[in-house]
Amino acid sequence: MTKLTVNTARPYDIMIDRGLLEKAGALSRGVNGGERALIVTDSNVAPFYASRVVASFDAAGYQADVFIFPAGEESKRLTTISEIYARLAKNRLTRGDLIVALGGGVTGDMTGFAAATWLRGIDFVQIPTTLLAQVDSSVGGKTGVDIPDGKNLVGAFWQPVLVLADTDTLDTLPREVLTDGMAEVIKTAAIKDLCLFEMLENRDMDGANREPIISRCIDIKRGVVERDERESGERKLLNFGHTLGHALEKHYRYTGLTHGFGVAVGMAAVTAASEKQGLTAVGTASRLAALLKKYQLPISDPAPQSEYLSAVLLDKKMAGSKIDIVLLREIGNAFVHPMEVTLLSSFLNSQSEAIT
Ligand SMILES: NC(=O)c1ccc[n+]([C@@H]2O[C@H](COP(=O)([O-])OP(=O)(O)OC[C@H]3O[C@@H](n4cnc5c(N)ncnc54)[C@H](O)[C@@H]3O)[C@@H](O)[C@H]2O)c1
Ligand SMILES: [Zn+2]
């Protein structure tokens, strides 16, 4: 087992191990003295894991109930939050009680937001069950929902009291969802850790390798979040590949292409371009592309760049004329490169020649 402590304003532990679901109730007891717990999960995760988690909370002396919502990003909205509030009211959860997020990033973001706002904030425990949620969304305290005008536009910073990443839960993940999460793992290695990058090159994401790989990713994100809880500086590095990734996701209206696939294309494209312009060590782009390919992630997309970039340009022009692009100096070493938005497409233009 690996245990990491996040020293934000409200410090909390993250545990990474196999078989944590069965211990979730007892471990939560260590940080919360409430009587009631509401476990929020989705319709895909519930059949696999809800009863085990409820049993574990019952055994730890909680009156536990489960709220199940239909799986998918479409559920990450205020109507689901209202339904969660209604259940919290019905079950009379008070300030000292507990909300538990059992699922991927959608469950974690939404449950965290409900916890941040119910009675102006009560304890919540994250039990992330996707790779993305384990290495990324469950760490850092960003919670929220989507509204028709955009993703994650409504939310709050609210830290969990405990995060339990049970690596066994990844066994039931559809392959595409696991691959999607690998993009964030590779991103983390690329911006911060050459050793992790080499580990990913030399090993696979199977049973025994999961704990060290996931733990390292969490440790890196933990460090960044501790130093920059509210995203004013270093935390921006975590956006490597995301400007283009988001543009592509938007281009496909958040349906044709997953987040991780967009980020993979984004990382490959900016790195190829920055290497061409002498900002990145020679050989970095091809090494990154090879690792992305190894994990079945794309390094380019058939959509014309001018089309999908126009959406970002429009957004960013409203915010100001500069955009912060994250680039690699070399593998494991990233920096923020402010750029005029209007120069972004010319910066990226020569990318295809550099990707082999
Ligand atoms: N808060 C943050 O800092 C942060 C960071 C990155 C992403 N996010 C958010 O995370 C969300 C994406 O997260 P996600 O990819 O985990 O999506 P998700 O929660 O929708 O999970 C993906 C799919 O996997 C299923 N699933 C989850 N765990 C499973 C398991 N163990 N076995 C079988 N199926 C399982 C889900 O039901 C869903 O169908 C987005 O809404 C994004 O905005 C938040
Ligand atoms: Zn991401």
Specify the CATH class of 2-172 in words: alpha beta
The pLDDT of residue 230 is 66
Distance, CA of 163 to chain centre: 13
Ligand 1 midpoint to CA 310 (Å): 28
Torsions phi, psi of 243, nearest 5?
Answer: -60, -50
Q: In this structure, which residue's CA is closest to atom 16 in ligand 1?
A: 104
Residue 302: phi, psi to the nearest 5?
-70, -20
Does the beta carbon of 274 sit less than 6 angstroms from any atom of ligand 1?
no
**Cα–Cα dist 235/329, whole Å:** 17
Q: Which residues of the chain have pLDDT under 50?
A: 351-356
Cβ(309)–Cβ(322) below 8 Å:
no
| Pair 272, 354: CB distance under 8 Å | yes
Amino acid at the residue 223 = G
Please name the fold of domain 175-354: Dehydroquinate synthase-like, alpha domain (1.20.1090)
In the set 235, 250, 287, 337, the catalytic residue is 235
Burial class (CB in 10 A: 0-12, 13-18, 19+), 223: middle
Does 29 qualify as catalytic in the annotation? Answer: no
pLDDT of residue 102: 98
Exactly one of 221, 222, 251, 276 is catalytic; name it: 221
User: Which H, E and C letters describe the chain, residue by residue?
Assistant: CEEEEECCCCCEEEEEECCCHHHHHHHHHCCCCCCEEEEEEECCHHHHHHHHHHHHHHHCCCEEEEEEECCCHHHCCHHHHHHHHHHHHHCCCCCCCEEEEEECHHHHHHHHHHHHHHHHCCEEEEEECCHHHHHHHCCCCEEEEEECCEEEEEEEECCCCEEEEEHHHHHHCCHHHHHHHHHHHHHHHHHHCHHHHHHHHHCCCCHHHHHHHHHHHHHHHHHHHHHCCCCCCHHHHHHCCHHHHHHHHHHCCCCCCCHHHHHHHHHHHHHHHHHHCCCCCCCHHHHHHHHHHHCCCCCCCCCCHHHHHHHHHHHHHHHCCEEEEEEEEECCEEEEEEEEHHHHHHHHCCHHHHCC
Determine whether the shortest distance from the Cβ of 45 to ligand 1 is under 6 A: yes
Distance CA 210, CA 201 (A): 14
pLDDT in tens, 291-344: 999 999 999 999 888 888 877 776 655 556 788 899 999 999 999 999 888 788
Do residues 17 and 3 lie in contact, with contact meaning Cβ atoms separated by under 8 Å? no
Contact 66, 49 (CB under 8 A): no
For the chain, give every residue range classified as CATH 1.20.1090.10. 175-354
The pLDDT value recorded for residue 352 is 46
Phi then psi dihedrals of residue 97, to 5 deg? -80, -170
- CA Rg value for the chain: 20
Question: How far, in Å, from the CA of 239 to the mean position of ligand 2?
Answer: 7
Report the sign of the C-alpha dihedral through residues 191, 158, 42, 78, in that order. negative
pLDDT of residue 356: 39
Is 221 tagged catalytic? Answer: yes
Residues 162/189, Cβ–Cβ less than 8 Å: no
CATH 3.40.50.1970 boundaries in the chain: 2-172
Q: Is 142 a catalytic residue?
A: yes
Pocket test for ligand 1, best of 113, 131, 137 (most atoms within 8 A of CB): 137
Cβ-in-10-Å burial (0-12, 13-18, 19+) of 302 comes to exposed
Strand 322-330 vs strand 142-147: parallel, antiparallel, or unpaired? unpaired
- What's the pLDDT at 317? 53
In this predicted structure, what is the pLDDT of residue 212? 96
How does pLDDT run across 198-213, given as a tens digit for each residue? 999 999 988 889 999 9
**What pLDDT shows up at residue 316?**
58
